[in-house]
């Protein structure tokens, strides 16, 4: 089964497969890998709610997951989370808007005149990396390195499948990790001597139970933020543009009524959730839909499928930018609810406003099916060549 769900066709469009499995067996066991998967909204939400039964301290086939916030349980989880939450306050995030616009426009300026670009490489990839780099407090010129590191981290998801791809991902991560450690150690040392108003300084100065964070903890945050903030947001923007290109009536609707943009963004993450699967491990036997998942099982919680569950969403296979209500769980739910949700929404809002107000027509520049990104738990195109015409009047979406 793992080979099947790793194939490009299924990764490009897993939704037919989800629909079949959700209907036939919403709680699925893969005997070969030993993994369990949850597909329906009710089970997925329950797994996120009940963090005592569904622990985030997971042991995928290749060993224990790294000790990052997202893979911790309380009480340590709550303490570490509190440190970063102070950086991601609504006010601090809203204050970033002008800077994000500036970065976005600079990226677009480079490519607009050509009438063609690869949305992923030229825009949606770099933008979130630059934003999170500034928030953490790292120089923007180091961007190429971050992008390489971010890819090495995200590729770790291959480890879940085992086999050659897992071995390669682990091999490639090791030198990247060593580079990151050297880089972060030096930067942290500088912040210790000369504090600034950034996340890195906050991490260097933070105390948990009267103790400073170790360099390993700081490196963990660095890796988590680098991957959680970039890959997901890149896919958010790419998936938005892709969904609008596929549904021109919805783009016309948005242009006619730009106030729908916040709703449209929620619909994008429901319709094509950037993170398709969360990871959990059962701490006791648990019964769901008449099946017993034994204690100690590795469980893939399929958010991307839950967000298409017809029991929860009317006409779930339709991309409807006015959908209301839209109780999607694309940013998770419960104690691990995404810390960067407001930032991701802001970046996507800025991105779509800039893209659609500066482009008149916009279409795919290739007839080939788009190539999906290579990591298991994320969903979006690896490349998205687009062709467009520039707008004469570019101050609004209309
Ligand atoms: C569209 C973009 C994004 C999506 C769809 C997304 C999705 C998620 C989801 C589903 C979780 C829960 C994981 C779990 O329960 O196991 C999560 C956690 C997290 N996200 Fe995001 N995320 C996005 C963007 C961001 C950004 C921009 C940041 C940082 C700036 C970020 C930082 C985090 C962190 C640190 C956690 C761990 C929280 C915890 O364990 O308590 N995410 N995200």
Does residue 77 contact residue 340 with C-beta atoms inside 8 Å? no
Ligand 1, from 232, 264, 300, 349: best to mutate by most atoms within 8 Å of Cβ? 232
Model-level pTM? 0.95
Does residue 391 contact residue 357 with C-beta atoms inside 8 Å? yes
Per residue in 187-236, pLDDT (tens digit) is: 999 999 999 988 999 999 988 888 889 999 999 999 999 888 998 999 99
Task: Report the nearest atom of ligand 1 relative to the CA of 303.
Answer: 10
Per residue in 286-299, pLDDT (tens digit) is: 999 999 999 999 99
Q: Quickly tell me which residue has 């037919």 as its tokens.
A: 16
Residues 300-323: b if buried by 16+ CB within 10 A, e if exposed: bbbbbbbbbbeebbeebeebbbeb
pLDDT surpassing 70 at residue 3: no
345 lines ligand 1 (CB under 6 A): no
| Arch. (CATH architecture) of 2-61+72-387 | Orthogonal Bundle (1.10)
How far does the centroid of ligand 1 lie from the alpha carbon of residue 242, in Å?
22
Per residue in 327-366, pLDDT (tens digit) is: 999 999 999 999 999 999 999 999 999 999 999 999 999 9
How far does the centroid of ligand 1 lie from the alpha carbon of residue 339, in Å?
6
Ligand 1, from 332, 335, 378: best to mutate by most atoms within 8 Å of Cβ? 332
Share of the chain above pLDDT 70, in %: 95
Output the DSSP codes for 317-383: TS--TT-SS----TT--GGG--TTHHHHHHHHHHHHHHHHHHEEEEEES-SSPPPBPS-SSB-SBS-
pLDDT surpassing 80 at residue 305: yes
Per residue in 60-94, pLDDT (tens digit) is: 766 778 889 999 999 999 999 998 888 888 888 99
Chain centroid to CA 329: 12
87 lines ligand 1 (CB under 6 A): no
338 lines ligand 1 (CB under 6 A): yes
- Residues in Cβ contact with 341 at an 8 Å cutoff, skipping those fewer than 6 apart: 331
Does residue 225 contact residue 258 with C-beta atoms inside 8 Å? no
Ligand 1, atom 43: nearest CA belongs to which residue?
Answer: 338
Domain borders along the chain are 2-61+72-387
pLDDT surpassing 70 at residue 4: no
380 lines ligand 1 (CB under 6 A): no
Q: Quickly tell me which residue has 């680098």 as its tokens.
A: 226
Region 166-181: mean pLDDT is: 86
């Amino acid at each position: 089964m793992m080979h099947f769900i790793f194939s490009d066709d299924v990764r490009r469009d897993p939704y037919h497969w989800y629909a079949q499995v959700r209907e036939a067996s919403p709680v699925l066991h893969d005997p070969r890998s030993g993994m369990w998967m949850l597909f329906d909204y009710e089970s997925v939400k329950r797994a996120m709610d009940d963090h005592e039964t569904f622990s985030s301290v997971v042991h995928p086939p290749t060993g224990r997951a790294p000790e990052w916030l997202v893979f911790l349980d309380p009480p340590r989880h709550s303490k570490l989370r509190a440190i970063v939450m102070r950086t991601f306050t609504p006010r601090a995030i809203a204050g970033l808007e002008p800077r994000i616009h500036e970065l976005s426009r600079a990226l677009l300026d480079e490519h607009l005149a050509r009438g063609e670009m690869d949305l992923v490489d030229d825009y949606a990839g770099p933008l979130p990396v630059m934003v999170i780099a500034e928030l953490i407090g790292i120089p923007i010129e180091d961007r190429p390195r971050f992008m390489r590191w971010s890819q090495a981290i995200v590729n770790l998801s291959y480890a879940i499948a085992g086999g050659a791809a897992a071995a390669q991902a682990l091999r490639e991560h090791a030198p990247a990790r060593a580079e990151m450690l050297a880089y972060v150690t030096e930067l942290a040392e500088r912040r210790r001597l000369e504090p600034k108003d950034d996340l890195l300084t906050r991490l260097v100065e933070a105390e948990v139970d009267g103790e400073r964070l170790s360099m390993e903890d700081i490196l963990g945050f660095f890796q988590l933020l680098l991957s959680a903030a970039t890959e997901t947001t890149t896919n958010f923007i790419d998936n938005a543009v892709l969904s609008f290109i596929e549904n021109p009536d919805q783009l016309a609707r948005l242009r006619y009524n730009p106030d729908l943009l916040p709703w449209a963004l929620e619909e994008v993450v429901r319709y094509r959730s950037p993170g398709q699967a969360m990871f959990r491990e059962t701490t006791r036997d648990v019964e769901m839909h008449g099946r017993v998942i034994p204690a100690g099982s590795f469980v893939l919680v399929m958010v991307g499928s839950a967000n298409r569950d017809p029991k929860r969403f009317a006409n779930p296979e339709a991309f409807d930018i006015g959908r209301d209500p839209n109780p999607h769980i694309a940013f998770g739910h419960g104690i691990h609810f995404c810390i960067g949700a407001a930032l991701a929404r802001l970046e996507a809002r800025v991105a779509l406003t800039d893209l659609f107000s500066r482009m008149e027509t916009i279409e795919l520049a290739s007839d080939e099916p788009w190539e999906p990104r290579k990591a298991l738990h994320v969903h979006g195109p690896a490349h998205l060549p687009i062709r467009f015409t520039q707008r004469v009047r570019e101050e609004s979406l209309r």
